[in-house]
Structure 1
Amino acid sequence: MQAVKHWLKTSDSPLAKICFDLINSLRFFQVPSISLIHKPLYWLHNQLVNGWANLTRILYWTPLFKSRLNQCGSRFYLYSGMPQVLGNLNIEIGNNTRMSGISTLCGRSCATKTPQLKIGSNVDVGWQNTIAVGTRVELGDNVRLAGKVFLAGFPGHPLDPVARAQGLPETDDQVGDIVLEPDVWLATGVTVMAGVTIGRGTVVAAGSVVTTDLPPGVLAGGVPAKVIKALN
């Protein structure tokens, strides 16, 4: 088969060129878009897809996920399936909070006390977020987490290469609380390391890595994240 493909692509033979053009014509053949037909079909497709998504969200994914929670407030909105929950983890969620099902909530498996994840009211937990709870992670009211945010309360591996090769867990000094005070906004791709507190109303720019505490009411960014300016 590979020899035939190579012959079709490289041969100067008229037969090879005719066959190659014919294959490409079939490969890239498209049915023309007819507005009177395809616009209603597009609308119908969206209605069916959205209707099915809402039906499964209401009747299946949301009650299934809520059964795993220690506490859940009113008007919790879960979309795009159900988050993956790994390890031992106590989860509390406030009122009017929204969470993407394409996210991971993880508790440290070798913790002496059950890790605690507390999510306040009116919080957004976006697409492909990972919240790794070593001891405690707390998201205050009105916090916004954009896509691909990583709250790294524990690393999962020790620094010592011998221990790491043996599959041993991280050491206790690598683990810490993460606290996002109310009104914090983490933009796309932000990573927050263990032991960090981010002050009220602070905004962290996309792609930043937060390794130390940030004060309230500032814009911060960079690797590692530094204060750029005050917001008030």
Structure 2
Amino acid sequence: MSETGTTSGRRRHTAGWAVARGEDVDLAPTPEAELDRQLGNLCDKGYPELAGMSPGGLRDHLAPLGELLPKAFASTPRSLPFLLVVTSRLVPTVAAVERFAVRGRPGFTDMADELGGYAPIPEVEPPEADAYLLVDVDTGAGTLGVRPTDALPVLLGAGRSPLTIDEGVALVTHFPKVLTTRNAFQSLGSRAANKRVPSFWVSKGAPRLGWCWAGNPHTWLGAASAAARYGSR
């Protein structure tokens, strides 16, 4: 899929960006510059080597996603404008988590042995691609203190989609400040044959991918969600 958009479409997504730039995160001046920032961030974190590519090769591989920006910003985003999601097909989850950087501390997970058992829930259909754009991302401050089992139907009823593990990894990778300036969050969009919900928070001063029970409410964990996903392949 490849869409370049119209002049009016570019005006719409630029106007939406002006609103989003008021957020408490590091954001480039335009969507195009932000995509380039996120690409550079991946290169700085060693993603090319993890994916078996050169930095230029990774950029070329992901470049078609830039053509989707006008489509992704047909309406004004209400929160984080977009994430460049690199899935575990291309870069292993544990390696990606270990490249988190929150207040100078690398990330860690105690879920390495069980991550292979998690998959998107039926209500979530990520693009059949090893990388894509996730649009209008919210960390779920409005669902703090709500059990994940209760938060899921609320998100779906509002036309929102819960984040997967890959998408949670992308959120902390590109916008690490959310864990310290907003709230920790859960990825209700990925589940295994158990009652565990993948969760991202700061533990002992370091960013962590862990889990919490689906039936337990937490005042510090929100149900993260997004408006849409767009893939070029």
TM range (shorter): under 0.3
Normalised by the size of structure 2, how large is the TM-score?
Answer: 0.25
- Name the structure, 1 or 2, with higher relative contact order (CA <8 Å, separation 6+): 2
Larger Rg: 1
Is the helix fraction higher in 1 or 2? 2
